[in-house]
Amino acid sequence: MSDLVVRELCKTYPNVRQDLVVLDHISLELNRGDNLAIIGPSGAGKSTLLQILGTLDQPTSGTVEVAGLNPFSLGEVEQARFRNQHIGFIFQDHHLLPQWNVLENALLPCLAFGRAKPDQIERAKQLLDRVGLSDRLTHLPSQLSGGERERVAVARALMLRPTMILADEPTGNLDSDNASIIGELLLEVPKEQDAMLIVVTHSMELAKRMNRCLELRRGKLTDHPRDDMA
């Protein structure tokens, strides 16, 4: 069985006249080491899908299995543990904690269930070095550029070697140089760690670099032909 199995996933929001169907029986499989881009118009439900895969939101129906586990069958504490262990989320607006410095932000996943161990601090430093921030460890997010903040978010997402990395518009706010650096990292590091990567993006340049590209439109996920990518 694949490391990620999504079956007949639906998400509907109640609406005054007619319910709003955002995800309409979506199925998807992905394995460790694979990467995938999801494109589609604004409002198509890309973030909604990513949030459900990351267990930050609940599906209306359908199932998600990561590494053979259905996170929605777990209790609250177990689900938080599952998220911590299996999911690395890179949000569009990075969600760094403003009062914590770069190193502390990268260590955040380790702090959810206790203190960071020395080897974890070492790993955070290595990852921050990998994203070119070794001389910014004690900077606060407010003392970083947008691209640097996004790179901290990448390091943080990789910290606990998650099974699946979910990135929502990771290059949305970046200039082309920084977008290219983040794109490079997103491709290389999950591969090194044998993780799955799903990237939601409006950038065809980034989408083109992934092994596979799917388009979300009117609730359905379909293969986006490579030839159509300008």
Ligand X SMILES: Nc1ncnc2c1ncn2[C@@H]1O[C@H](COP(=O)(O)OP(=O)(O)OP(=O)(O)O)[C@@H](O)[C@H]1O
Residues of this chain that bind Mg ion (CB under 5 A): 47
Q: Which of 3, 4, 10 is nearest to 221 (CA)?
A: 10
Report which residue type is found at 184: E
Q: How far is the CB of 57 from ligand X (least distance, A)?
A: 8
Only one residue has tokens 């490579």, namely 226
Distance of CA 81 to the CA centre of its chain: 17
What are 97's two structure tokens? 């904690």
Q: How far is the CB of 173 from ligand X (least distance, A)?
A: 13
Binding positions for ligand X, rule: CB under 6 A = 13, 20, 22, 40, 42-48
The two most distant CA atoms of the chain are separated, in Å, by 56
Q: Between residues 38 and 155, which has the closer beta carbon with respect to ligand X?
A: 38
With CB cut-offs between 5 and 8 Å by kind, which of ligand X, Mg ion, none does residue 44 bind?
ligand X
Question: In angstroms, what is the C-alpha Rg of the chain?
Answer: 17
Helix (H) or strand (E) holding 223: strand 220-223
Q: Between residues 47 and 55, which has the closer beta carbon with respect to Mg ion?
A: 47
With CB cut-offs between 5 and 8 Å by kind, which of ligand X, Mg ion, none does residue 225 bind?
none
With CB cut-offs between 5 and 8 Å by kind, which of Mg ion, ligand X, none does residue 109 bind?
none
Q: Between residues 47 and 171, which has the closer beta carbon with respect to Mg ion?
A: 47
With CB cut-offs between 5 and 8 Å by kind, which of ligand X, Mg ion, none does residue 13 bind?
ligand X
Q: How far is the CB of 164 from ligand X (least distance, A)?
A: 18
Q: How far is the CB of 9 from Mg ion (least distance, A)?
A: 17
Helix (H, G, I), strand (E, B) or coil at 129: helix
Q: How far is the CB of 147 from ligand X (least distance, A)?
A: 20
Beginning with the edge strand found earlier in the chain, give each strand of the sheet holding 4-13 in spatial order: 20-30, 4-13, 61-66
